[in-house]
Structure 1
Amino acid sequence: MDYTNMTQTEQKSSANVSSVFTHQVLPVFYSIICTCAFILNGLAAWIFFRIPSSSALVVYLKNMVVADILMLFTYPWRVAGDLGYGGLQLKLIVCRYTAVLFYLSMYTGITFMSLISLERYFKIVSGTSGVSYLLQRVSVAKALSLFTWAVMMFFMLPNTILTNQPMPEVFKCMNLKSELGRRWHEVSAHFNVGIFWMAFMLMLFCYTSIACHVYRSLKRVQRERSEARRRSNRSIFSLLAVFVFCFVPYHICRVPYTLSQRRKAGFSEYNHFILFQLKETTLFLSAFNVCLDPIIYFLMCRTFRESLLQKMFSVNRQNGRPSIGTGLSITIL
């Protein structure tokens, strides 16, 4: 690739970094998280879909499991493409289908994270009266879930349909898009970034309010309840911590990278290269979310936690091991 304003040595060095990092190092990391996430999310799905949808929280968490499994399905395709298997046809499948599914699943999961924070806010801070009671109903949660999937599909699926150009001489996903496809790609990218920052602001508000409410409530009890306070805070902030770690870095660099994909934006080839490396690195953090979400399920959902522990103790009893945790009482929110 011809990088503007770079010496020949710098061009060669940059090309080597791109080859080693994006085509050798990242595929190994994706393979590792794919294996771990397959086990964790398989277990989560096995437990969750044996649990009735008895609350809005369970409905949203089940939808998060579905989004994570769909997202996880795209990793093997990406790994195979980055390692050079399958040729241009596999890269075409990645650009047209699995990359779109990846982003559809990721932003759907982000939306459900924000809905979970809103549900927790209404349940803990607002109680069960008026609008808060309505939004905690299972039927309303199911309707919001369907609406979320419908809106995300409306914005994302055209990226598949409009990736319809003949195979270019220089293969890039953007070169496979029509002019309308390039414009829709930019619109959908900015829409997704807007969804992210709205979700982030909503989660900050909800969890700050919850933390203040819990602190005021626990301040009135005896000091020996400090352990319960610590567990409550750990449960409250687990989702926010995962959200910040996985998604904030990527969204800081996504907007300039999206602009750099259109030559009219005034980015040099070298700047585009740097933004691409940053985008790929931070995107990996977003992909790592599928390994951390099962921790959220365990900390936030008592039904999920009790079902998992019950299965573990049942296996221990079948293997002749003492079930030391049978009488365990967990007080996390």
Structure 2
Amino acid sequence: MDSKWRVTDEMRGWKEEERQRVIHSLRSTQPCPPALSAAGAAATPQQQHCTHQTNIMEITQSVTMTTMSSVESTTINPFLDSQFRYVFIPVFYIIFFILGFISNLYVLFVLCCLRQAKAMGEIHIYMTNLTIADLLFVCALPFWIDYYMREGDWVYGDFMCRVTGTFFFINTYGTILFLAAISINRCWAVTRPLDAASSDRRICGIIVCICIWVFVLTMSVPFLVSPGINKHSKNNTDIRRCFEGYQNESKEKKKTVAVTNFLIIGLFFIVFLLIVMCNILIARVLIYKNSPQSKIQSSETESKTPNVMSTFKRPTGVKRRALQMLLAVVGVFVLCFLPHHIVQGPWALAVLEIVNYSETTRKLLNDAHQITLVLMGLNCILDPVVYYFATGKFRELIKAHITKLITCTQTQSYHLNSGSKSESS
């Protein structure tokens, strides 16, 4: 019986064609010769051996067929789709597209006004590049909306699958790095106000942005050069998945994908810790009580840079807005990016079949992964909130636009009312 189990275990790793060939050979095996002795007589040793071998082959065939059927049953739906994502995700992506497109175009308009007014500082350079990254993601959303409305069937070809997937990657990690740059800039301005006020760091901002774009684009090259479409059958229909399904990949490819995922996760947590440290330093300085040292620093700042008000002299203004910016940046990270990078590791191990999770666990991980993707898309409409708290010039320009809009509306309503009164008289 040990040989039977060894054969069966080997068959588990065989391909379908090899299994069918072995089963066919088992079925075509010649039956044992009939007993020559009288009824009730003992069988000969040859007959006993033949009967024993036949039983082994029948058991082996039965176990093999059971193994094959169980394998087939587990691969019928390798993606473990939950129907909720085909209703849940398109609704949110439509909202993200409308609000994200309008808000980010308006942010670009405001930043262009600042540039024309020669008020383009280092932080505004970061905000401009972050807005461009958000718009790339927003422009790809209509394709993903249609993809989920078709229940996971990509109809736009492999090239567009790779392009839209690349835009998603660029937005995610471009946003993370640009928010990190904004946090470092604010930390520098709060903890070293003298240096920040006396130096023009626009060139530094441009260099940092170039480095971020080069890094993110380099990291996104694998998405552009490797096939994005994976096909599988669903209800006797070929379904084309976009960046879903690694079940049919080789072991080497699966290992490469797993290592890449965990490297990206590790880099994210390094950046996340850096942002947390910067914001802790900002909060410490802003909440720090007035001490002799802080008073001396405040007086020196006012004497050397009279146009720059010390944060210690304006607790209800600068401090409050800086703390709001701090909460906005950390909030975007915790809400939009942290859940995805917590779930991404176990999900990748489940999808790549590196860890043998149960079907229930795989389904839960897949559902959680889909929800975290939606949360990551939320950043395209939350980033303008960060801009509002990040710089005073940005806020002043927005308030001026709102005031102008209200004034124009009141003027138009006044003319309409006066015109209607003159006509009636």
Contact 2:230 2:245 in 1 (8 A): no
| 1:312/1:64 CA distance change after superposition, 3 Å | same
Q: Which residue of 2 aligns with 1:243?
A: 333
How far 1:175 moved relative to its partner? 4.7
Residue type at the aligned position of 1:272: R
1:155 to 192, 212, 219: 219
Give the share of equivalent positions with the same residue, in percent.
21
Contact 2:340 2:369 in 1 (8 A): yes
2:396 to 298, 303, 306: 306
Give the match's secondary structure for 1:263: coil
Q: Distance in 2 between matches of 1:73 and 1:175?
A: 27
Q: Distance in 1 between matches of 2:215 and 2:199?
A: 19
Q: Distance in 2 between matches of 1:316 and 1:246?
A: 34
Give the match's secondary structure for 1:18: coil
- Whether 1:193 aligns to 2:265 is yes
Q: Distance in 2 between matches of 1:46 and 1:177?
A: 47
Give the match's secondary structure for 1:189: helix
1:31 to 62, 82, 94: 94
| 1:54/1:23 CA distance change after superposition, 3 Å | same
**For each residue in 1:245-302, what CA deviation from the matched residue of structure 2 results, as whole angstroms up to 9, or x when unmatched?**
1111111101111222212333344432221100111111111111111111111122
How far 1:82 moved relative to its partner? 0.6
How far 1:194 moved relative to its partner? 2.3
Q: Which residue of 2 aligns with 1:99?
A: 165
Q: Which residue of 2 aligns with 1:80?
A: 146
1:48-197 equivalences under 5 Å are: 48-52=111-115, 54-84=120-150, 87-90=153-156, 92=158, 95-129=161-195, 137-163=201-227, 167=231, 169=233, 171-172=240-241, 173-175=244-246, 182=254, 185-197=257-269
How far 1:159 moved relative to its partner? 1.8
Q: Distance in 2 between matches of 1:49 and 1:110?
A: 23
| 1:232/1:155 CA distance change after superposition, 3 Å | closer
Q: Distance in 2 between matches of 1:210 and 1:204?
A: 10
> Which moved further from structure 2: 258-267 or 273-282?
258-267
Q: Distance in 1 between matches of 2:347 and 2:199?
A: 37
Higher RCO (CA < 8 A, seq sep 6+): 1
| 1:37/1:165 CA distance change after superposition, 3 Å | closer
Q: Distance in 2 between matches of 1:70 and 1:64?
A: 10
- Whether 1:259 aligns to 2:349 is yes
Q: Gaps (5+ residues) in structure 2?
A: 1-69, 234-238, 296-311, 413-425
Aligned length: 312
Contact 1:81 1:91 in 2 (8 A): no
Residue type at the aligned position of 1:212: R
**Greater Rg by CA:** 2
Q: Distance in 1 between matches of 2:110 and 2:390?
A: 15
**For each residue in 1:40-70, what CA deviation from the matched residue of structure 2 results, as whole angstroms up to 9, or x when unmatched?**
1121111112322632111111111011111
